[in-house]
Structure 1
Amino acid sequence: MHSDILALYGRSFRAQLYLNSARGLKPLRLSRSDDSFSWTGIAEDDWLQVGSAGQSPAMNFVFRHSSSDRLYFDITLPGPPRDSSGQGSAKRLGISINGFLGFYWVADVTEPWKIEPLAMDESGLLCHLRDHLGQRVAIRPGNTMRNGQRAQWLNTLEGQVQTFVLRQA
């Protein structure tokens, strides 16, 4: 791995992840339970999808270690207190049983994510996002949402493999 990449990304940081497409960078979004995804059986918030009118959500990339060609992170989504104790909480990026990416409470996810750097430029770090088994993240189109847009889910088991741009905040 190039020393510049390791110097900038071989540590913990807050960043946004964007889909790299031929038409430019596409922001990611977190699903909401009112998105009308009844066909999926998913009635929870915080499933990671492509497509947002705004910016990608900020995520914490908690550095674990590096290898010659990968950076290993726990990816968390900071949030409000989980219960009435007032203690802060974070959801950790994980994978459902059928390969969909979503944020889970920390106790449910133990394996790190792998960032495979491809190139670095002024837009950020071009990379593949890989799960703990090394499977690259892909887009799996879904049914139409209430607003008429087509849902594009991130999945490790099926779909078209994508590249992403990681931008530090």
Structure 2
Amino acid sequence: VRLLLDTLQDAAQGLLRELALPPLTERPADTVEAVSPTAAGPLDLAQHARENDDPALLDQLLALPQAHLIVDGYNVTKTGYGTLTLSEQRFRLLAGLGALAAQTGAEITCVFDGADLVEPVLLATPRGVRVLFSRQGETADELIRRLVRAEPHGRAVIVVSSDREVMEGVRRAGARPVPATMLLRRLARG
């Protein structure tokens, strides 16, 4: 019955998107307080048989109904693009996440540590990607855990981070942690 209801809900949401109707309710991640960037304009799934960072597993997870991908932004960028400036790292990651959102239709939230920000960050946020910065006195890791706890039990929540503490915390809260290298390999594939 749950699968049938999820399928009907996905079909209804597809129709809403097709008709360009605005959503009537907020998503759980919309209710979590964080600092949003200033807009700059438009811009068991058989894991045992796979490598630990095989992007095909991420594709399978994102294909689940109502999947929500939460990305530990700087953890991913410092793993994959560590030689770039923080601004360039954010731009590159968000461009890749925008393409991933367009391909999969999954809800995507990218979280950056904003505790040391002295001024607002100017970003061109891609369509389909929510970008959040942690509040003063809070780390991105804490914000990620709050986002996971805000989700209803049973929803497919995938958290991308290679930070062991984050991975263990979100696993205990019911989310599925995957390593940063898995997302980086998926983004490199296009």
TM-score, with structure 2 as normaliser: 0.24
Of Structure 1 and Structure 2, the greater helix share is in: 2
TM-score normalised by structure 1 residue count: 0.26
